Amino acid sequence: MTYRIEKDSMGEVQVPADALYGASTQRAKDNFPISGIRFSRRFIWALGLLKGSAATVAAQGGHIDQQIADAIRAAADEVMSGDLDDHFPLDIFQTGSGTSTNTNANEVIANRATISLGGEPGSKLVHPNDHVNFGQSSNDVIPSVIHIAAVAALREDLIPALEAMESALAAKAEQFADVVKSGRTHLMDATPVTLGQEFGGYATQVRKGIERLQSVLPGLEELALGGTAVGTGLNAPEGFAAATIALIAERTGYPFREADDHFEAQAAKDAVVMASGALKTVAVSLFKIANDIRFLGSGPTSGIAELRIPDLQPGSSIMPGKVNPVMSEMLMQVAAQVIGNDATITWCGANGNFELNVMMPVMAHALLQSIEILANAVDTFRRRCVEGLEANVERARELVEKNAIIVTALNPYIGYDAGARIAKEAVTSGRSVRELVLEQGLMTEEELDAALDIKRMTQGGVM
């Protein structure tokens, strides 16, 4: 590998000759060989969006030369598109403000813009600080980028995936509306429900999850840009941040706005913590749904088996013919990761100090990973599991007819104590509730026909 020499305030540094980054990035690369986990595509996209928009506004205000601003904007667009991702090598476990990655972006964009203007990398024809970082600080850039990336990912990826999931579950609720089956509470037999009612509940869980995510968007759409180092806005021209944010809103179509209080926006990360909490709630809902479907499809001979789950792949390296509920297991693991990410974000949010939170890179990674893996998992689970689910009507009927708890519908006629005695005797003897009630003369056959209407039991009221 060949190298070039770049300089920063600490001296000279060897940088790979073909790298667009400079001395500061190389130092961070050497300092933080921690995990190999880099910032996500969404984050780098948002970073390019902010830098290009800021340069455009800086030129409009006469603060930097228009030709330089145009070159910065073009380079930043390449950052947005992913063409320069190889030049963003830094680990997420780095300086807690994310300064290394902000500087990384400044250097890459400056060198790419310099080359486009006929200069040599490292010559600073376009300066990473004076031009690309004009009117900004890492301390207001990084929190703004986290918010921009999260809003785009929620609006474009996760919320649409959940909307499609809600529709698929609602369609199954309609399809299964007449499939009567045993209800279960505490994992034990309970009064009858329909399979459609269960799936309607799942669809509502998902819809409420969408509403929770939508409720956190206004907080995320508030950007810290304009506070610069500590929230005072030192070195940011009046109106610069507002104009830059307005341009970002125009380019994305999302209602971003400047923070009401820059000290809150930089010192705290409460909007991120709240968003993560909503993601955790969605993950908990999805875990419940996936786990229920897994159990309802268990068997096929020794489990509940009221659902037939699509066969997707062999389930065992030793047991021929075994098929497992792999989609449920996948979604449950994703939910577990999101719940863990929320714990990380919560702890990071609690550890802001004075005018700056210094655990932002890992917060950014955890938040954006949660959104990404949930969106991908929900989409896959819907396509490869939910849409292919079938009801095992015969099995559902068999189990509900054996369910002694249907005696509950007789409480208004024979009382709770007699009902409990009948239920216990039905379980121990294997005889039906109907048979025992008639034998003991507790009700007439006509009364039982009306009271033990299984389908009507799913509709509530007194039989």
6 DSSP β-pair partners: 13
**Residue 91 is which amino acid?**
D
Q: Which residues are catalytic?
A: 186, 316
Burial class (CB in 10 A: 0-12, 13-18, 19+), 353: exposed
Contact 322, 270 (CB under 8 A): no
State the burial class of residue 255 (Cβ atoms within 10 Å of its Cβ: 0-12, 13-18, 19+).
exposed
Counting Cα atoms < 13 Å in the Cβ hemisphere of 128 gives 27
DSSP 283-303: HHHHHHHHHHHHHHT--SSSS
- How many Å apart are CA 74 and CA 52, to the nearest integer? 8
Q: How far apart, in whole angstroms, are the C-alpha atoms of residue 239 and residue 78?
A: 27
Please say whether the beta carbons of 280 and 371 come within 8 A. Answer: no
Q: How many CB atoms neighbour CB 296 within 10 A?
A: 25
Closest CA to 386 of 460, 291, 290, 305: 290
